Structure 1
Amino acid sequence: MYPIAFVSLGPGEADLITLKGLKTLEAADCIFYPATIIKEDAISSRALDIITELNIDSKKAIPFHVPMSKDRSLAIEAYHRISQEAEQQYLKGLKVAIVAEGDAGFYSSIHYIFDTLTKQNIPVEHIAGIPAFIASGALAGIHIVKQEEELNVIPGIISANDLIGKIESGKVVVIMKVSQCQEAVKECISKIPTATFHYFENVGVKDKEYYTNHTHEIIARKFPYFSLMIIHQ
């Protein structure tokens, strides 16, 4: 029996999936993908957009919905149900794939599914992909780290004082989901004028990508969910 494959789709541009990831999706019998319910009988899914652009048979694509709530118990229950569904397909002898944007092992919430299946002794495989901050560096034409520089990748839950400390330590800082700390970031911009703030939205999504390193534009902007920042001191 084949292991359940956790396939990384990359940040949004279909061409940025790895060849191994593409081959796995083409060979899969069923593909579970994350989707958001926007209204009755209508869903939105960047993952499905990528799958469709890759000309993968949509008939084998199965959406899963995770509640967007601060009550994480609801999301964990949803991931548990998805784990059970994937296990059932696996036990039928089918080739099962579960996709994630970016890299499936990098700040990806589907680790709940991966961990649950592992505990059930179901064989799993992680197929690597390109995380959004790597694609962001390419979009901006910058070297994220050079020579002996250190990189500190952090989630968006951070205070202004802690962020200032990280920047002043000389490390390159990447903030994922920067929308969660936009006020802290804007305070840092005013207090550390020597730093360069590279701000990104929707990297890899055609006609929606946005990049700037002009601080006045960053301060005036409301950060959406799909945003991140690379900071150089």
Structure 2
Amino acid sequence: MVTGRISFIGAGPGAADLITVRGAKRIAEADIVVWAASLVTPECVTEHARADAELVDSSRLTHEQALEIYRRAERDKLNVARVHSGDPSLWGAVQEQYDSCVKLNVEVEIVPGVAAFSAAAAAVGRELTVPEVAQSLVLTRLEGGKTPMPDGEKVREFAKHGTTMALFLSAARTGQLVEELRAGGYEDDTPVLVSYKVTWPDELMVRTTLGDLEADVKKHKLWRHTLFIIGKALTAGGTRSHLYHAGHFHTFRKADKTARRALRAERAEKAQSAEKSDSEEGEPRKPKESDAAWWAVRDWQETARGAARFGASRTIPIEQDESQTELFGEQCVEAVQTAAEPASPEAERTETPAEIPAEAPAEAAQSDSGQGDESSTAATKPAPNRSKTSAQRKSSTSAKSSSNKRKAPAKSASTAKSKSTTDRKSAAKPDEQSD
């Protein structure tokens, strides 16, 4: 059975009326209220706590002493409200306390609060994420303090993003902070908001620039309760958000057609303006993903077309693999080479041999394999209906010109050897077909 309850409450930046309703309710129900008197205004506690509640100032407590209070809550079934400034999730030293309380037989919870950077932005009427100016917010602090910073979490590294930054716990070393921000890329004219004890009665808000930041901090003698916000979003107007634009649609609202067309035209104009600006500065425009996809498809199409035209325009000689002569006869190799070569007037005047029947490749294979005079003699014997006269071949060539242009028939080894050298040219070797 769980006994008692411990609530870690974010009291906000300081003002008593900026605490959440849940946080105020937990304080009103608490038997013991532990609060940081140096970071939370007294009114935040006294306006909500019971008259008989025990109030403990945590600024004088150690972690072990705070644990004794939590153990007493378990033993006596008490409700404890541990009040932190701002939001407990940011530099609140809450995690170690929460983990210790989980081991006890008590109910444990965390009540979020208003963060100091949010209150500072509200105090000067600024949005920290202005469209097309800054869409990110970096929360960090200067390295070199009591708590070491992890590797890679340097102010100058975060500053390279150029977006809005909120820097806590850094006012005591403002000179070092300025140098780190400059090293990261911020210019001296970058606007800076100095927020001291925001929402407290003695609140101080100073607008300055990075170049004057150190002098202004020394002028006002600030070193505690000070927050710095830096970035162009503090002064830039930006553009209208599309969230409530009539041309923008979402789950609960349809877009107006006229406004939608106007919004698209505005986006296109901005894109053209950005492209023109990049070209004037001499910087190449970065290709968009849609452009890359379009060019990829176009390159693929051109490659496919080129492969289809390759047989008609190639001039690369076809090499014959001697180890494959048993599979492909001479007439097969010549047929491939002839089909790959472009037509020429001399080739058109050359007599075209007849097509070889299905059983011819067997004879040609024997000729190519070099079996001796016997196979050569058998190959030179005329076969019935296997060859045509010169006139018949010319007639057949003119009658079937369209088909012969697409596919040239293979040359028969027997026909080529039976013709005289005066009627035809000597057959070229496979390696010479492209000459």
Contact 1:16–1:130 (Cα < 8 Å) also in 2:
yes
Counterpart-to-counterpart distance in 2, 1:25 and 1:132 = 21
Contact 1:202–1:226 (Cα < 8 Å) also in 2:
yes
Contact 2:35–2:84 (Cα < 8 Å) also in 1:
yes
Contact 1:174–1:230 (Cα < 8 Å) also in 2:
yes
Contact 1:4–1:98 (Cα < 8 Å) also in 2:
yes
Residue deviations 1:150-206, cap 9 Å, x none? 2111023269xx434422322221111122431123334696224221111111111
Judged with a 3 Å threshold, the aligned counterparts in structure 2 of structure 1 residues 31 and 65 are, in CA distance, closer, same or farther, namely closer
2:45 maps to which residue? 51
Range 187-196 or range 11-20, more displaced: 187-196
Counterpart pick for 2:99 among 110, 115, 118: 115
TM-score of the two chains, using structure 2 as the length reference: 0.44
Contact 1:174–1:231 (Cα < 8 Å) also in 2:
yes
Name the count of aligned residue pairs: 213
SS for the counterpart of 2:42 is helix
Contact 1:79–1:110 (Cα < 8 Å) also in 2:
no
Counterpart-to-counterpart distance in 2, 1:122 and 1:65 = 21
1:211 maps to which residue? 205
Alpha-carbon offset, residue 121 of structure 1? 5.5
Range 191-200 or range 98-107, more displaced: 191-200
Matched, 1:138 2:131: no
1:70 maps to which residue? none
Identity of aligned residues (%): 21
| Larger relative helix fraction | 2
SS for the counterpart of 2:194 is strand
Letter of the structure 2 residue corresponding to residue 62 of structure 1: L
Counterpart-to-counterpart distance in 1, 2:103 and 2:226 = 33
Judged with a 3 Å threshold, the aligned counterparts in structure 2 of structure 1 residues 100 and 58 are, in CA distance, closer, same or farther, namely farther
SS for the counterpart of 1:214 is strand
Counterpart-to-counterpart distance in 1, 2:92 and 2:39 = 15
2:171 maps to which residue? 179
Q: Unpaired segments of 5 or more residues in structure 2?
A: 233-435
Counterpart-to-counterpart distance in 1, 2:142 and 2:174 = 8
Q: Unpaired segments of 5 or more residues in structure 1?
A: 36-43, 68-74
Alpha-carbon offset, residue 123 of structure 1? 2.8
Alpha-carbon offset, residue 48 of structure 1? 3.2
Counterpart-to-counterpart distance in 2, 1:157 and 1:47 = 28
Judged with a 3 Å threshold, the aligned counterparts in structure 2 of structure 1 residues 59 and 153 are, in CA distance, closer, same or farther, namely same
Equivalent runs, 1:141-160 vs 2, <5 Å: 141-147=125-131, 149-157=135-143
1:196 maps to which residue? 191
Contact 2:30–2:49 (Cα < 8 Å) also in 1:
no
Residue deviations 1:61-120, cap 9 Å, x none? 4324446xxxxxxx7xx1122122122123311222111111122210243322221244
1:38 maps to which residue? none
Letter of the structure 2 residue corresponding to residue 232 of structure 1: G
Matched, 1:12 2:5: no
| Larger relative strand fraction | 1
Counterpart-to-counterpart distance in 1, 2:108 and 2:22 = 15
Letter of the structure 1 residue corresponding to residue 230 of structure 2: I
SS for the counterpart of 2:83 is strand
2:34 maps to which residue? 32
SS for the counterpart of 2:198 is coil
The structure with more radius of gyration: 2
**Could you list the runs of 4 or more consecutive aligned residues of structure 1 that deviate by over 6 angstroms after TM superposition?**
none
Letter of the structure 2 residue corresponding to residue 195 of structure 1: T
2:225 maps to which residue? 226
2:74 maps to which residue? 90
Letter of the structure 1 residue corresponding to residue 23 of structure 2: G
Letter of the structure 1 residue corresponding to residue 53 of structure 2: K
Counterpart-to-counterpart distance in 1, 2:105 and 2:88 = 19
Counterpart-to-counterpart distance in 2, 1:224 and 1:138 = 22
SS for the counterpart of 2:82 is strand
SS for the counterpart of 1:175 is strand
Which of the pair has the greater relative contact order for Cα pairs under 8 Å at 6+ separation?
Answer: 1
2:239 maps to which residue? none
Contact 1:177–1:228 (Cα < 8 Å) also in 2:
yes
